Structure 1
Amino acid sequence: MLRLGHERSTVAREAEGMVREADCDGDGFIDLDEFMRAVSEGGAGVDEEEELREAFRVFDADRNGYISAEEVRRVLAGLGRRCSLKECRLMIRGVDRNGDGVVDFEEFKAMMMMNSLRAL
């Protein structure tokens, strides 16, 4: 049980760090422009694929290779955002290309790349 609690706090710290890094105006939230900037800039000298995998792992709490609506809700809650499970399912549906109800890494990557292109 301690280990599970430790993993949750690690995920929360990672998510908070990601928000702090991307939050250019310091309001504690990431707006669309800040998100797009963070995705398009990536890290200097850091492999983009690995950056995407790290971001994916923040959401994939059970490490099964998929992001569920429940996992999206947990991350958003950790960031102080209240979101219903129904709303999270709608978010998943918008990214879920194969219709299995979850987001795999390739779907996540495609979404992030598409958002990056839209920012240009």
Structure 2
Amino acid sequence: MNSLGQQPTESELRDIIHEVDLDNTGTIDFQEFLALMAPRDQQYRDIDRELRDAFNVFDKDKTGTIDATELRLVMKALGENLTDEQIEEMIKEADKDGNGTIDFEEFKAIMQL
């Protein structure tokens, strides 16, 4: 659960096991685990879809990346008149691979801070 961004306490884990342990074995089998995770999985897919939609607003030329020109256009449309230096700093902060653009994974990382 930690790898999914969940950090339940021991007490919360006991409550979760009690809630989904339909056969009262004191453990969660695979089917019970799937029933537990299905709502969370849908929640993550919805967030991912929303982030993809937001990314596509920025990615004007549909190349799969956001460059400084695209970022400037969207920020201006939002009423933000940023300097070239501010735009470059925003790109630099998100651009983890150093290629001068922001891909979807980099966008997701910066948006989920």
- Verify same fold: TM over 0.5: yes
Any stretches of 5+ residues in structure 1 without a counterpart? Answer: 1-43, 116-120
In 2, Cα distance between equivalents of 1:89 and 1:69: 7
Aligned to 1:60: 59
Superposition RMSD on alpha carbons, in Å?
Answer: 1.8
Aligned to 1:112: 111
- Cα distance, 1:48 vs structure 2: 0.8
Aligned to 1:98: 97
Report the secondary structure of 2:61's partner residue: coil
Report the secondary structure of 1:47's partner residue: helix
Identity of aligned residues (%): 44
CA contact (8 A) 1:70 1:85 kept: no
Q: Deviations over 1:2-31 (max 9, x none)?
A: xxxxxxxxxxxxxxxxxxxxxxxxxxxxxx
TM-score (ref. length: structure 1):
0.55
Superposed, 1:41-56 pairs within 5 Å as 47-56=46-55
- Cα distance, 1:79 vs structure 2: 1.2
In 1, Cα distance between equivalents of 2:53 and 2:76: 19
- Cα distance, 1:69 vs structure 2: 1.0
In 1, Cα distance between equivalents of 2:73 and 2:95: 19
Aligned to 2:70: 71
Amino acid at match of 1:52: L
In 1, Cα distance between equivalents of 2:110 and 2:75: 18
CA contact (8 A) 1:73 1:88 kept: yes
Amino acid at match of 1:89: E
Report the secondary structure of 1:101's partner residue: coil
Give the structure, 1 or 2, with the largest relative contact order (CA under 8 Å, sep 6 or more).
1
In 2, Cα distance between equivalents of 1:97 and 1:48: 21
Runs of 4+ in structure 1 off by over 4 angstroms are: none
Amino acid at match of 2:47: E
Aligned residues: 71
Report the secondary structure of 2:98's partner residue: coil
In 2, Cα distance between equivalents of 1:102 and 1:78: 20
